[in-house]
């Protein structure tokens, strides 16, 4: 391989990496914005004053009903009586798509 082809290959690889990381960063800013999901969960509760951890809920990414969803558990000072809020957020629809019932 001559030197010119090597430089061209290196330039192509570098351009590919830059484009890849820009796309990767844009994807995570768009679909995995933690502040946006926290606000969605907080709004879903109706800004319930009993919620203790809306800024730091238990969170996990799971597979549910054939799609990837974010599962958030918001604990309250009424967990013994009613249970916590358990919300399922679709990151592509950017909406709460399901919630486990709290007992009354």
> How would DSSP label each residue in 76-100?
BTTHHHH--EEEEEETTTTEEEEEE
pLDDT tens column, 79-90: 989 889 999 999
Q: Is the pTM of this model over 0.85?
A: no
Other beta carbons within 10 angstroms of residue 51's beta carbon come to 20
Whether residue 24 is found in the same domain as residue 39:
no
Whether residue 74 is found in the same domain as residue 91:
yes
Q: How many domains does the chain have?
A: 2
Whether residue 54 is found in the same domain as residue 27:
no
Give the contacts of 86 (CB within 8 A, at least 6 positions apart). 71, 72, 73, 74, 99, 100
Domain, as residue range, for 49: 33-104
* C-alpha to C-alpha distance for 13 and 76, rounded to whole angstroms: 51
* C-alpha to C-alpha distance for 45 and 5, rounded to whole angstroms: 60
Here the CATH number for the domain that contains residue 101 is 3.10.450
pLDDT tens column, 15-72: 999 998 888 777 766 666 678 889 999 999 999 999 998 888 998 888 998 988 999 9
Whether residue 21 is found in the same domain as residue 42:
no
Whether residue 50 is found in the same domain as residue 79:
yes
Whether residue 71 is found in the same domain as residue 82:
yes
């Amino acid at each position: 391989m001559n030197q010119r082809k090597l430089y061209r290959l290196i330039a192509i690889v570098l351009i590919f990496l830059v484009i890849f990381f820009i796309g990767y960063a844009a994807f995570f800013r768009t679909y995995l914005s933690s502040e946006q999901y926290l606000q969605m969960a907080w709004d879903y509760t109706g800004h319930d004053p009993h919620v203790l951890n809306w800024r730091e809920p238990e969170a996990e990414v799971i597979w549910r009903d054939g799609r990837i969803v974010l599962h958030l558990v918001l604990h309250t000072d009424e967990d013994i009586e009613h249970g916590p809020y358990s919300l399922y957020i679709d990151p592509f629809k950017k909406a709460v798509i399901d919630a486990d019932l709290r007992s009354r």
